[in-house]
Amino acid sequence: MTELHTATSPASVLTVMAHPDDAELWAGGTLARLAQAGAAVTIAVPDHADAIRNAEAAAGAGELGARYRQYATVDADSLHDVLDATRPEVVITHPLEDVHPEHRHVASTLTAALPEIVIATGFPRRVYTSDTYNGLTDHGPVAAHSIIDVTRTWNIKMRALAAHTSQPIAEHFGPMAETLGRLWGNRIGTRYGENFTPLPILGRLPAATTL
């Protein structure tokens, strides 16, 4: 099912990603749109012990209107603590079958941490996976599901991505973002889009008509 979501935005959103530029690349337009609507947006990545990348990540998050948060290591305890501290309404992470092993590790560790924290706190209420490299997972193309129109925030996304100057943005990630943005946008009749797929929480999928 392909949907253009226009309903009320969530009050809080947390992205749990593997690398400092992942949130911008896979969800930057949506995060900027949600931040503009008043959502508290947090970008959480593991500490890579690289001052340059950490500074770039903070700058990119600032462009999106998000808070940048580091956690020590990718394990269930660390992610449990991040989820408990932020108690987001919505979480966005990588596809469970992502082609990148570090993306898969973050996504699978997050899902392992979810049952206990959801039972204890009721949060997050909804979890989504993002796009990936050229829209392809280990099991084939990412299915069109919840496509967000990010035309108005596209330039913000690209400025946030460009903040990661140590990475091959102009040569690689920028052109890929452009291709994927136009692909998902075409699916819903807009210039740019970003696609998300809901994950079940305790066996339930979200009934919401927005992230």
Instruction: Summarize pLDDT for 153-202 with one digit per residue, the tens.
Output: 999 999 999 999 999 999 999 999 999 999 999 999 999 999 999 998 88
Q: Is residue 3 scored above 50 in pLDDT?
A: no
**Prediction pTM value:** 0.94
The verdict on residue 163 lying in a domain is yes
The verdict on residue 206 lying in a domain is no
Query: Which two tokens mark 3?
Result: 């949907």
Range(s) of the domain holding residue 153: 7-199
Query: Which two tokens mark 41?
Result: 């947006």
Domain CATH code at residue 12: 3.40.50.10320
Count of structural domains, the chain: 1
The verdict on residue 89 lying in a domain is yes
The verdict on residue 208 lying in a domain is no
The verdict on residue 129 lying in a domain is yes
The verdict on residue 58 lying in a domain is yes
Longest dimension (CA), the chain: 45
Closest by Cα among 164, 159, 147 to 209 = 147
The verdict on residue 195 lying in a domain is yes
Q: Is residue 4 scored above 60 in pLDDT?
A: no
